[in-house]
Structure 1
Amino acid sequence: MSEYFEEQLNKLIVYQQLKCKCENNNHHEVLALVAEVGTFAVERLKTVIKNMPEFTLHDDTHIFNMLTIIGKLIPQENMKALSAPDLFMLIISVFLHDIGMAPDEKYILAWKNQLPEEEYDEELKEEREKFSRFRLTYTHQLADIERLIAEKEFSKAQLLEDYIVTEYIRTTHSIRAREIIATYWAGKIVYQDTDLTEDLATICYSHNESYTYLLQMESFRVCGQDEYLCIPFVATILRLADIIDFDPKRTPSVLFSHLAVKNPVSLNEWKKHQSINAWTISPKRILFSAQCEHPAIEATILAFCNQIDEELRNGTVILSNLSDDGMGINMETYKIPLPPQVDRRKIQAKKDIISGKPIYRYHDTKFSLSKKQIIDLLMGTKLYGKPEVALRELLQNSIDACLHGKPEVALRELLQNSIDACLLRQKLSELWGIEYTPKVKVSLYTKIMLITCK
């Protein structure tokens, strides 16, 4: 453990409490394990910016921010009453919850299809196949990639390819965290004689799941004489600390400029963090202060505050539903008060230095389409004017799909068009006052495929 890392740990309330309990009970191996896991996490998370250059930092800054937030969220009397396993798991789950953002290099190369074919074992082939299926869901980006390659805009095409890889890493990182923990830490996350590796993996996985996942967790793990680990409590605090970490240090200005962030989603994420200049967190209050240079950034921050509000509500539900299962545990330790919502009063427009007035006026307005009216328009006869024109268009689309040259595209288009035809007929039948139940029959032959609509 580096001197810097040790210094940062010793500043944390949650670590101070764990250290005190471990030293009093002569459990020095627990502190050594914390240092080992922390060093592993920090070193590995340094690779996130390599593979996900347009994402906010997920390094030791994020880790220590989260642990600081935990020390502020949990009241002091509750913090002192937490067991050593609770404190231990809070710390190492923060260390490892985002470890899935840093996959092994071989997987990155497999997803990008950059490995020699002889290096693909069964595992890598499966990974490549999983990513290929995921990639196919980004239809608009794939069309843009084809167009950019045709226009010889290779760097822009690669940017989109990297974006898809980044999204794959992000959306699957909690699953990968489980796998990394199983690979590197199986049987090693032990408190006294109790193996907590599976509990750690479950907690890390849960931070990216619906809060209802936490309601299904086992409440307590017995770790020793009168020592228990409250699994849903740790998972809840982890989620809250993760989402509340709204810190500009995760998006330093010099790095923001150097990276020349291009992806609009990442751009919003970076600028959102850039605008935050201060925050106050306590068991009773969460206050963010932000000076925004554009109303879109203010809207993004406020939307993120809404997410935090939802997580606070969900956390309250989870903690209030905790039960000791008749084990005689003091549940008041875990039923901590949470702020009802984020205080947004100091999230505002930046002021002009000369006039002292806000550089813009923010109004929470937005445009949206009426889903019902759009469906009525597209499913009725108004789109084409006459039913026979609509039918002709459906047939033409089917022919076009066949000419596309890809059987799976043709099949998909034919099925969709047949369904559309049935729905059109159903709509017309309603107008005519005739009862009609759509039926689609698919017959697949060696050379021809027949789809009939009744």
Structure 2
Amino acid sequence: MLIEEIERRAANDKQDSRVTKCLYSFAVTIAEKSKEHSKRIIKQLPEFDLHDEVHLASVLSNLEQIIGDQALSSLSTYELFFLYTSSYLHDVGMALPDWELKAIEAVEAENEIYADEWKREFCSKSGGPITITLARQLVTRHANELYGDFERVRKWFFAPDSEEHLVEHLAQTIIQYQLFRSGFTKKLYSLTGEELRCYVQSLRIDFIRQTHHTRAYRYVKSLGRHITEEIMQPWGAAITHDLAEICQAHGEPMSYVEKMKTDAQYVGSETANLQFVASMLRVADIVHFSIDRAPSVLASEMQFLNDESFVHWAVKQQGVNYHVAVSGDVGKKTIKFRAYCTEPRYYYALHKYLDWVDQELVNYAKVSRRWELSFGKQVSERWSIPLADEVDRSGIDYDSEKFIWRPRFSWTRK
């Protein structure tokens, strides 16, 4: 529905349709490139629940169902573009290009006996991160080992726009990873052999997961160079900057969203409420917690290094699914979850996760009220989605022969 609405507007003969045609073409390209890029995630992070094309399409579907046809038709073309493309781009930071993986491997050489000699130069002698100046020098010195010819890097869809920016990005990644690992120094030096290898791999996975939203910002921000149409220059850089902020926002505190623009302007008279787009993306993303993201055929082949990853897969395999419906009682759209839990651990873990979903729904309700105060009811109406501020959990059941649910029961891992 989203891309079809943009396409319909692009077919118009109005002056603004030139801009819309450009946005439509760019959106289609982004979707195709993002789907291709997402295939790297399962290869690099096999423990993660699926962040592939299925997840991207589900986030888009969630957006379309939650917002609805009528509301979508009232949004600006820029808002439609941001909603569509962010659904495909928000997780691009989960998959790293080869040169960034090599930078991470250079940091991990600190725990390897037979690491390449050039990688050892990246090891911190103090236990904390090296300086940014030294990191830049090392990346430049070992450019051939890390990325080779920049012209090859430039062919990547998300490539930085200059070799200088690539060096800076790799230097920052090295420092961030060293800082992250410094909190686990004692444990790292207490392990050997296979235990050490597994722990190093587990730390890498956690680091990529915890920083993927800021990495997405870096990747998406560079996409402005792909908007070549004269009518959009130099606004391509501004558009992709705001798109990058939207993608980063899905992993930030709500205070980050509240500082975003509500009346961003580019070419033409239309504006975009970036807070609305970011809020909708956060809801659509977190809602996709279902069995299709953790197929049993894949889980049976895995050896989980991280207990959190295992629980996420196991909970989804309790038949978790959902749909968006209009509640007759309150007249609002309600997200209804269903599951049949066979173990208490998974039952309480699912409810804990749905508490986070509820918080995102509350976040949207709070920020939407501010738009009405700022713009008035008539203008803010296009961003007003009648969305219940908590999910419907009535479809979540459990095996009463195995355990009994107790109100206010607090489950903790033993």
Shorter-chain TM-score range: 0.7 to 0.9
User: Is the CA contact (8 Å cut-off) linking 1:219 and 1:323 kept in structure 2?
Assistant: no
- Residue aligning to 1:365: 409
Of the three residues 173, 177, 180, the one matched with 1:131 is 177
The 1:189/1:295 distance shift into structure 2, 3 A limit, reads farther
Q: Deviations over 1:321-370 (max 9, x none)?
A: 126966997220112121121111111214xxxxxx643323352378xx
Shift of 1:134: 0.9
Q: Deviations over 1:79-99 (max 9, x none)?
A: 111122111110101111111
Shift of 1:184: 4.1
- Residue aligning to 2:10: 22
User: Is the CA contact (8 Å cut-off) linking 1:111 and 1:128 kept in structure 2?
Assistant: yes
SS in 2 for 1:259: coil
- Residue aligning to 2:304: 261
- Residue aligning to 1:77: 70
Letter in 2 for 1:18: I
Q: Deviations over 1:139-171 (max 9, x none)?
A: 5xx52x44441xxxx333212111111111111
Taking the TM superposition and a 5 Å limit, the aligned residue runs for 1:23-422 are: 23-25=11-13, 26=17, 27-113=20-106, 116-117=118-119, 119=142, 123=168, 124-139=170-185, 142-143=186-187, 145-149=188-192, 154-186=193-225, 188=227, 193=232, 194-195=235-236, 196-282=239-325, 284-322=333-371, 330-350=379-399, 358-363=401-406, 364-366=408-410
The 1:323/1:128 distance shift into structure 2, 3 A limit, reads same
Distance (whole Å) between structure 2 residues aligned to residue 30 and residue 262 of structure 1:
42
Distance (whole Å) between structure 1 residues aligned to residue 230 and residue 404 of structure 2:
55
The 1:136/1:130 distance shift into structure 2, 3 A limit, reads same
SS in 2 for 1:258: coil
User: Is the CA contact (8 Å cut-off) linking 1:308 and 1:342 kept in structure 2?
Assistant: yes
SS in 2 for 1:288: strand
Q: Deviations over 1:39-80 (max 9, x none)?
A: 211111211122211111111111100111111111332111
Shift of 1:125: 4.7
SS in 2 for 1:365: coil
Letter in 1 for 2:195: K
The 1:38/1:106 distance shift into structure 2, 3 A limit, reads same
Deviation larger for 76-85 or 319-328: 319-328
How many residue pairs align between the two structures? 343
Taking the TM superposition and a 5 Å limit, the aligned residue runs for 1:419-438 are: none
The 1:358/1:28 distance shift into structure 2, 3 A limit, reads farther
Letter in 1 for 2:102: L
The 1:126/1:65 distance shift into structure 2, 3 A limit, reads closer
- Provide TM-score, normalisation by structure 1: 0.70
The 1:346/1:327 distance shift into structure 2, 3 A limit, reads closer
The 1:187/1:219 distance shift into structure 2, 3 A limit, reads farther
SS in 1 for 2:11: helix
Distance (whole Å) between structure 2 residues aligned to residue 288 and residue 240 of structure 1:
14
SS in 2 for 1:109: helix
Question: Which structure: larger Rg?
Answer: 1
The 1:131/1:76 distance shift into structure 2, 3 A limit, reads same
User: Is the CA contact (8 Å cut-off) linking 1:214 and 1:318 kept in structure 2?
Assistant: no
Distance (whole Å) between structure 2 residues aligned to residue 327 and residue 288 of structure 1:
34
Letter in 2 for 1:137: G
- Residue aligning to 1:381: none
Q: Deviations over 1:186-222 (max 9, x none)?
A: 4639896343111101111111111122211111122
Q: Deviations over 1:76-126 (max 9, x none)?
A: 321111122111110101111111111222222222226644525864455
The 1:82/1:191 distance shift into structure 2, 3 A limit, reads farther
- Residue aligning to 1:388: none
Letter in 1 for 2:12: N
Which structure exhibits the higher relative contact order, with contacts defined as CA atoms closer than 8 Å and separated by 6 or more residues? 2
Unaligned runs of 5+ in 2: 110-115, 120-140, 147-166, 326-331
User: Is the CA contact (8 Å cut-off) linking 2:222 and 2:240 kept in structure 1?
Assistant: no
Distance (whole Å) between structure 1 residues aligned to residue 240 and residue 283 of structure 2:
22
The 1:53/1:76 distance shift into structure 2, 3 A limit, reads same
Shift of 1:224: 4.5
Root-mean-square deviation over aligned CA pairs: 2.6
Distance (whole Å) between structure 2 residues aligned to residue 362 and residue 170 of structure 1:
32
Give the share of equivalent positions with the same residue, in percent: 25
Distance (whole Å) between structure 2 residues aligned to residue 328 and residue 346 of structure 1:
35
Deviation larger for 229-238 or 358-367: 358-367
Letter in 1 for 2:364: G
Deviation larger for 270-279 or 301-310: 270-279
